[in-house]
Copies of this chain bind each other. A is one copy, B any other.
Amino acid sequence: MTSTALLTDQYELTMVSAALAAGTADRRCVFEVFARRLPDGRRYGVVAGTERLLDAFADFRFGPAERDAVRDVVDERTLDWLTDYRFTGDIDGYAEGELYFPGSPVLTVRGGFAEAVILETLTLSILNHDSAIASAAARMVSAAAGRPIIEMGSRRTHERAAVSASRAAYLAGLTATSNMEAARTYGVPSAGTAAHAWTLLFADADGPDERAAFAAQIAQYGTDTTLLVDTYDITAGVRNAIEVAGPDLYAVRIDSGDLGVLARQVRQQLDDLGATSTKIVVSGDLDEYAIASLRAEPVDVYGVGTSLVTGSGAPTAGMVYKLVEVDGVPVAKRSSNKQSQGGAKRAVRTARDTGTVVEEILYRDGTELPDSVAGSLNTRALQIPLVRGGDRAADVPTLSEARSHLARGLVSLPWEGLGLSHGDPAIGTRYLNPPEAP
């Protein structure tokens, strides 16, 4: 086990230390995770990272090495407390793969102040990263309108973030990943055949030899492979590919240029060569807009990289982890524009009989949802148990379940909610009974 205990900010440790000294460490607290807004005109967000979070919590332990690392920051009493640290409280949250909107309480952590505050940074790191990727990826999947998308962005992000990004992208509906660690750890199907370097490798003093490169690839993998045809001249590349592989070649890939124009040319050429079932894979700086713009073109598979792993302009989900209740009393920051709603909240989403969602309704935990809401539409409670008494709850959704859940959630949005253009959240959020913070 690699401890996750130091993936935290110093101020959580100093707060724990001061709270132990002040006798306030065990006050019963509720922390909520939510995003004040969606990034950049987005219509919805996708909760992702929950399962990773629960795994990371299980490894949040202060062994001798971790204690040594924080010895200058906290006192002896705190070191003892950290040695014994186990989260003993309860956590509820939106299921992984659930849609969220501004203010949605996507995670609710109940416990003593110290045991709960210390999880802040790790919680936010995981949810903010994974949700940012999944939220961007879901838009790409919508834009692709059923065509498969391969995630190949590992090289454009931190080497460990890449693995989590592959997972989040798969959750959002991408088909496969180039990342071998994501394939091993999360069972994401993997894909990938050859880079331009492969074709260049067969050049010598006499010049390029694309046919030799293609022949070597076919010799190793048969025709069920994808030949990269844009290293030199694409028309020659396609001709070489089919001459070497025959018309049963699985696919050609184009990684540069005006992909729409090239896809049409290559499709025509493939068809003329009798390779009517050979697929066309396109890649190269694709984002959701570029994917959508290729919808009318004869593209069979998309490869996405940079844009996917950087959240397509929104690399972090901007969620915060806020103390909302202390010993049953709602609390909230009050200065400036960052005001929050105090008090633990419950969340339901209402839907018409058609399944189309109408709005999200938040109400104070411990109160009843009024009949006027409960009776008028189909309501679905959004929070599920994730941790009970420090132990992982039963039936936390798997990655595969989260993937299906998101697919159903996207179908439930009003049609304008799937638009790529900037706009308001797909549905509104209404807070029934805002409590007064003291």
List the interface of chain A (C-beta within 8 A of B).
2, 4, 6-15, 17-19, 21-22, 24, 27, 29, 31, 56, 65, 69-70, 73, 75, 113, 117, 120-122, 124-126, 128-129, 152, 154-164, 178-181, 183-184, 190-198, 200-208, 216-217, 219-221, 230-234, 237, 255-257, 306, 309-311, 315-316, 318, 321-323, 326-327, 329, 331-338, 437-438
Contacts and interface: CB of A to CB of B under 8 A. Distances in A.
Contacts of A128: 155-157
Contacts of A180: 6-10, 13, 69-70, 73
29 contacts: A6-B181, A9-B155, A9-B178, A9-B179, A9-B180, A10-B192, A11-B178, A12-B192, A15-B194, A18-B217, A18-B219, A19-B216, A24-B202, A31-B197, A56-B159, A73-B180, A125-B155, A125-B157, A126-B159, A157-B161, A157-B315, A196-B322, A200-B323, A200-B333, A201-B331, A204-B327, A206-B438, A232-B335, A310-B315
B155 A18 contact: no
A196 B333 contact: yes
A9 B154 contact: yes
A75 B159 CA distance: 26
A129 B126 CA distance: 17
- A-B pairs, top 8 by smallest CB distance, nearest first, are A11-B192, A10-B192, A158-B161, A124-B155, A22-B216, A160-B160, A125-B159, A69-B184
Given A21-B216, A336-B230, A336-B256, A438 B190 contact: no
Contact of A220 (B17, B156, B196, B198): B17
Contacts of A183: 10, 69
A233 B332 CA distance: 12
B155 A200 contact: no
B160 A158 contact: yes
A333 to B, nearest CB: 5
Contacts of A321: 155
Contacts of A195: 11-12, 15, 117, 120
A113 to B, nearest CB: 5
A221 B2 CA distance: 31
A280 to B, nearest CB: 16
A310 B316 contact: yes
A158 B306 contact: no
A201 B326 contact: yes
A436 B18 CA distance: 68
Contacts of A121: 154-155, 159, 178
B333 A9 contact: no
Contacts of A12: 192, 195
A53 B120 CA distance: 29
A21 B22 CA distance: 69
Given A10-B180, A126-B158, A206-B438, 18 more contacts: A10-B178, A14-B221, A18-B198, A18-B219, A19-B201, A19-B216, A69-B184, A117-B197, A125-B157, A155-B321, A157-B158, A200-B331, A200-B332, A203-B438, A204-B327, A231-B333, A232-B333, A309-B316
Contact of A158 (B125, B194, B255, B323): B125
Nearest to A125: B159
A7 B159 contact: yes
Contacts of A178: 9-11, 121
A18 to B, nearest CB: 4
A204 B9 contact: no
Contacts of A122: 159
